[in-house]
Amino acid sequence: MSYWPLAGIAIVVLGFALRLNPLLVVVSAALATGVLAGLDLVAVIEALGKASNDNRYISVTWIILPVIGLLERYGLQQRARAVIEGMRGATMGKLLVAYLAFRQIASALGMKDIGGHPQAVRPLVAPMAEAAAVKTHGDLSEDARDEVKAMAAATDNIGLFFGEDIFFAIASILLIQGVFEAAGYPLTPLELSVWAIPTAICAFAIHAWRVLAFDRRLGRAQR
Amino acid sequence: MITYEWLYILAGSAFAVWAALSLKDGRWGNAAFWALLSASFLLGSHLSDLANGVLVLAMVAIAGLGGLKRSDPPTTSLEERQAHAGQLGNRLFIPALVVPLTAVAGTLLYNYTPLGETGLFEARRETLILFGIGVLAALVGAMAWLRPPLLAPAQEGRRLIDSIGWAAILPQMLAALGAVFASAGVGDIIGGVARGVIPEGSIFLTVVVFALGMAGFTMIMGNAFAAFPVMAAAIGIPLLIQQYGGTPAVIGAVGMLAGFCGTLLTPMAANFNIVPAALLELKDQNGVIRQQVGTAVPLLLCNIAIIYVGAFWLWS
């Protein structure tokens, strides 16, 4: 058996490492893989065209953008900020657990752009977490402050990653569906997205426990 | 019967409107890109495979040459948004909630009541079609409620799609890459290698290799989407599903989530891990990753357990 078709994988890894345009990398990898597997170039372009055409439904999800954009025009992001600010007053641990839950639930309902590092973490979540930590534990060292802010950013990522796949009309779920359908295993988006729930629960339990343990550790270090 | 073709016409029309607005705005690269994507949606089912392939290559050329730029269509100011948000309150979330609610409730109704016998929707396509219906309902509702200028949703949508840019079709292209990998026999090759390494018949170790492979490939590429077609073709489909009879939905969904654990661990996923460290002015560029390790590693173990139990013990 020839190992040449694997060069496509090497192209993907190398192209991403060199920070080339990912779209360019992916399509080059597809063309190279087909040619190295012994197809002629026209046949490979045909295969790519057919595969892309069969997977158009993955990009259908963007039709939601006019709705989200319209709501943003009327202050959706500002309203989300008000909800996050309403979590004020608690300890750092409780604040981040509440934000984790908010981020997971909003993402699971398809609102994954509520939150995020530039929009929410830098202006709101990180300063609020830092202020809450100082309030409970007294003045903190520079390193401890950095740890609190980093934990706020980590909480945003974890809430997004392990919430968004519960929403069925999201690229990752439809990508799974596309790959499996091409391989002869037709699935529905809901069949896939319900299987994101057990991991979402584990993620919440593990990260919430860690955030609260971190808060307690900060308290001990200050004493 | 309502089929995906209806959705393609809907999405193709949205892309066509964005192309026209980009043209009017003098953004030629954006206009060409969205026009080609619109053509693919509106005409794709009637074009030859070669013509569709050429459409893809043209879009990639525009994206690769940096032809897509962010745009700034007319919108409300920050002060106006603040005022609206105060006045409208949490009701602002309702239109956004209409979409998933329509899709999930509709799917359940369609599958568990006699409604399904009407054959209104193409089989197994009802959820995404209902998502499209939910979007239209939310849009009509929000328009009637907020009474914005008629072109506002199109312009606001363009602001968002242009901020996403070429990344909007990356998942579609990665799925296409997966299909090309499958037809070129990439899965057979790596599956053969993996079979040589993993002890014959050990389902558990194969699950471990699959999940670690997803996380590892994601760490190298910085992107679970790119790792997925590779690992599915290599181990997920040939070994876990075909040889050992695992449940495809669990292997696909939780396999992807194992990849997300890898995303938490790699500086290659700059948007999530390095950019926030810079935004928060942390001294340690890897500070965010350091806080994520303690969650990502146990969660990866959970994912291994969920795949093993869910795909091979339940319903098998």
The ipTM of this complex is 0.89
The distance of Cα A69 from the centroid of its chain, to the nearest Å, equals 20
* Chain A hits for B90, Cβ within 8 Å: 79, 83
Do residue A146 and residue A190 come from a single domain?
Answer: yes
Do residue A27 and residue A89 come from a single domain?
Answer: no
pLDDT, one tens digit per residue, over B22-78 is 999 999 999 999 999 999 999 999 999 999 999 999 999 999 998 899 998 989 999
Query: A16-25, B10-19, B75-84: lowest mean pLDDT where?
Result: A16-25
Q: How many CA atoms lie within 13 A of B207 on its CB side?
A: 25
In whole numbers, what is the pLDDT of chain A averaged over residues?
Answer: 91
Based on the structure, what is the number of domains in chain A?
A: 2
Do residue A75 and residue A146 come from a single domain?
Answer: yes
Do residue A89 and residue A121 come from a single domain?
Answer: yes
Q: How many CA atoms lie within 13 A of B197 on its CB side?
A: 13
Residue of A nearest to B107 (CA): A190
Query: Which candidate, B254, B266, B159, places its Cα nearest to that of B207?
Result: B254
Q: What distance in Å separates the CA atoms of residue A4 and residue A8, rounded to the nearest whole number?
A: 8
Do residue A41 and residue A131 come from a single domain?
Answer: no
Domain ranges in chain B?
A: 1-164, 185-312
pLDDT, one tens digit per residue, over B152-186 is 999 999 999 998 899 889 889 988 888 888 788 88
Do residue A35 and residue A107 come from a single domain?
Answer: no
Chain A touched by B178 (CB under 8 Å): yes
Residue found under tokens 């790119």: B226
Do residue A114 and residue A170 come from a single domain?
Answer: yes
Do residue A96 and residue A13 come from a single domain?
Answer: no
Q: What distance in Å separates the CA atoms of residue B138 and residue B144, rounded to the nearest whole number?
A: 10
User: What would the two tokens of residue B51 be?
Assistant: 């013509």
Whole-angstrom CA distances from A134 to A11, A131, A141, A145, A153 are 49, 5, 10, 9, 18
Full residue range of the structural domain in which residue A42 is found: 4-54
Q: B175 or B240, which is more confident?
A: B240
Query: Which candidate, A82, A96, A156, places its Cα nearest to that of A128?
Result: A96
What does the pLDDT read at residue B313? 87
List, as ranges, residues 46-105 from A with C-beta within 8 Å of B: 46-79, 82-83
Closest CA–CA distance from residue B4 to any residue of chain A (Å)? 7
Residue B16 has pLDDT above 60, yes or no: yes
pTM: 0.87
Nearest to B291 among A30, A56, A151 (CB): A151
* Mean pLDDT value of segment B120-129: 86
Do residue A32 and residue A92 come from a single domain?
Answer: no
What per-residue string of b and e applies to B242-272 under the rule 16 or more CB within 10 Å gives b?
eebebbbbbbbbbbbbbbbbbbbbbebbeeb
Nearest to B171 among A1, A12, A175 (CB): A175
Chain B touched by A37 (CB under 8 Å): yes
Region class of B68: left (phi > 0), else alpha (psi between -120 and 50), else beta: beta
User: What would the two tokens of residue B295 be?
Assistant: 């969650």
pLDDT, one tens digit per residue, over A75-107 is 998 888 888 888 876 799 999 999 999 999 999
Do residue A119 and residue A205 come from a single domain?
Answer: yes
